[in-house]
Chains A and B, each alone.
Chain A
Amino acid sequence: MLFTKDKPLEEILESLGEEKKIFLLACNGCAEVCETGGEQGLLTMKAELEKAGKTLTGQLNVDFLCNKVLVATRLNREMEKIEAADSILVLTCGIGVQVVSKVINKVVHPSANTVSVGGLQGLWASDERCQACGDCALDFTGGICPITFCAKSLLNGACGGTQEGKCEVDSEKDCGWQLIYERLEKIGRLENLKKFHKARDHSKMFPSKDLRETSFYDIEK
């Protein structure tokens, strides 16, 4: 589940600029749940655009704008209306916008900012929880990720900024390393703290060539 938030209307209108004829495309997936897309999002945006003097050449809701094949099929049926438009305003996440821009040769504008890759229904791709660092340390840290729970992604223990168990960056946020310490104490694995972790290999964050070349991964394929 990708979490999105509407961009300010002024920003959207500014990005549309002189373009008068707009095709409106909204996602019924995550964006509907976030109220940035779906039927309601589309109607709200339609009203705003018309108020701003824009003309809609057409509008469409698609279940999952991240599903490239589905998007291509659905947009194909609306091709006349899309062709008549100066641009497409897409009410969805960053992935959906990239998919639309890939399947159709038209200017696309995002209406939302993607704030998290979120998680739902067993699928949790969130980079707040997992940055897909390619070198998982959870085994040593009691299942609490030091990359995402520590503001500095430290691997060898807390920095000097922990105060009353909270992070120096945000007094309402738990210090990840304190959580790790408490967890390791609980499971009797405090000796894990003594392990020296070498500096991260950031090249591991890049997906392998095999993965990059599959159609599951690659929007371009």
Chain B
Amino acid sequence: MKLTERFKEGKFVITCEVGPPKGIEVEKVIDELEPLRSKIDAFNVTDLQSSVLRVGSMATCRLLKEKDFEPIMQLTCRDRNRLSLQSDVLSAAVLGIENLLCLTGDHPQLGDHPEAMPVFDLDSVQLLSAVKGLMNGKDMAGNDLEGQPPQFAIGATVNPGADLLEPQIIKMEKKIEAGAEFFQTQAVYEVDKFANFCKKVKHLKAPVMAGIVLLKSPGMAKFMNANVAGVHVPDAIINELAGAGKEKRVEKSLEISARLIKELKDSCQGIHIMALGWERHVAAVLEMAGL
């Protein structure tokens, strides 16, 4: 089912990120999702997240589909030129994948193959436009597709915590113009800043899903503050987590995430949980958040 259908139903939509493994044992990753079956609307499968070599998004999406989970295939511009990207979009449709999330992608230098050639033949806006074109039966060169064109719900990303909000919003508008129908955001910890962002983009009428990253430790929070663009975990949250002590840390972390979700819920149309290995805790967080 297309994620856009869920938004149309007026549902508060919940998605969860799935990182394919570095190796071929995908089953393990998929089995972990079983407790989330009834709680999550769709699972985002990352496309070589952080530019680290892993199993591909498309194959994992298909396996999820076979187990009756709804996948969202993430598609980045880092590794493929326009021929390959368009071909993968068509292939995804053939495999029954109905949701795409189009991103620029991290630079290869950030990952485990820093020597790799960065492709970026397209950027995220151009990729969205290309997907939209295929949905209208035309490839980027203007050639007609044979038969029924593919149909997708197309998502994109936006960073509400970016230092400069204005260019973020301009790019978001361009993404909508190009075909984006919903947005997932980078991790959010500052509720007021996020609410302010949502107010500013309300006129765009595109559903926004707030990103939730489960904080595993105060160290992780500090690392994100130093290294992840547009993410700022306030000191109050870091201290709260540190104050809980090691044995109660998981509990406290889940409590913090659940509280954030409750506080963010009214400003947005859904949440996107990035558990980063803590998928087993997601069900508890949602329950604590009343979802």
Distance to closest chain B CB from A66 (angstroms) = 28
Stretch among A5-13, A115-123, A161-169 lining the B interface = A161-169
Contacts of B170 in A (CB 8 A): 157, 190, 193-194
Q: Please tell me if A178 contacts chain B, counting CB pairs below 8 Å.
A: yes
Q: Please tell me if A44 contacts chain B, counting CB pairs below 8 Å.
A: no
Q: Is the CB of A154 within 8 A of B120?
A: yes
Q: Is the CB of A152 within 8 A of B118?
A: yes
Q: Is the CB of B118 within 8 A of A181?
A: no
Distance to closest chain B CB from A187 (angstroms) = 15
Q: Is the CB of B120 within 8 A of A152?
A: yes
Distance to closest chain B CB from A157 (angstroms) = 4
- A177 CA to B229 CA in the complex, in Å? 14
Q: Is the CB of B229 within 8 A of A161?
A: yes
Q: Is the CB of B120 within 8 A of A153?
A: yes
Q: A162 with B163: in contact, given A152-B120, A169-B109, A199-B82 (CB under 8 Å)?
A: yes
Distance to closest chain B CB from A146 (angstroms) = 10
Closest A residue by C-beta to B173: A194
Q: Is the CB of A160 within 8 A of B167?
A: no
Within 8 A of A (CB), among B91-130: 103-107, 109-110, 118, 120-126, 129-130
- A55 CA to B48 CA in the complex, in Å? 53
Distance to closest chain A CB from B192 (angstroms) = 21
Q: Is the CB of A156 within 8 A of B177?
A: no
Q: Is the CB of B229 within 8 A of A198?
A: no
Q: Is the CB of B167 within 8 A of A199?
A: no
Q: Is the CB of A160 within 8 A of B104?
A: yes
8 Å CB contact of B178 from A168, A196, A202: A196
Q: Is the CB of B171 within 8 A of A157?
A: yes
Distance to closest chain B CB from A170 (angstroms) = 8
Q: Interface centre among B104, B121, B162, by most A CB within 10 Å?
A: B104
Q: Is the CB of B186 within 8 A of A160?
A: yes
Q: Please tell me if B174 contacts chain A, counting CB pairs below 8 Å.
A: yes
Fill in one digit per residue for B153-192: 1 if any A CB lies within 8 Å of its CB, else 0.
0000101001110110011011001100000001000000
Contacts of B157 in A (CB 8 A): 160
Q: Please tell me if B21 contacts chain A, counting CB pairs below 8 Å.
A: no
Contacts of A193 in B (CB 8 A): 167, 170-171
- A115 CA to B120 CA in the complex, in Å? 22
Q: Is the CB of A156 within 8 A of B164?
A: no
- A33 CA to B140 CA in the complex, in Å? 47
Q: Is the CB of A181 within 8 A of B164?
A: yes
Q: Please tell me if A155 contacts chain B, counting CB pairs below 8 Å.
A: yes
Within 8 A of B (CB), among A138-194: 151-165, 168-169, 177-178, 181, 190, 193-194
Q: Is the CB of A156 within 8 A of B118?
A: no
Fill in one digit per residue for B214-230: 1 if any A CB lies within 8 Å of its CB, else 0.
00000000000001111
8 Å CB contact of A196 from B77, B118, B120, B129: B129
Q: Is the CB of A154 within 8 A of B107?
A: no
Q: A200 with B121: in contact, given A161-B229, A164-B163 (CB under 8 Å)?
A: yes
Q: Is the CB of A158 within 8 A of B173?
A: no
Distance to closest chain A CB from B286 (angstroms) = 26
- A161 CA to B50 CA in the complex, in Å? 11
8 Å CB contact of A198 from B120, B126, B162, B230: B126
Query: Can you list 6 residue pairs at the A/B interface with Cβ under 8 Å?
Result: A157-B174, A159-B104, A160-B104, A162-B230, A163-B230, A199-B140
- Ranked nearest first, the 6 interchain pairs of A and B with the lowest CB-CB distance are A156-B125, A163-B229, A157-B171, A159-B104, A152-B120, A154-B123
**A residues lining the B interface (CB < 8 Å):** 151-165, 168-169, 177-178, 181, 190, 193-194, 196-200, 202
8 other contacts beyond A155-B126, A163-B229, with CB at 8 A cut-off? A155-B123, A162-B229, A168-B229, A196-B129, A196-B174, A196-B178, A197-B126, A199-B130
**B residues lining the A interface (CB < 8 Å):** 77, 82, 103-107, 109-110, 118, 120-126, 129-130, 140, 157, 159, 162-164, 166-167, 170-171, 173-174, 177-178, 186, 227-230
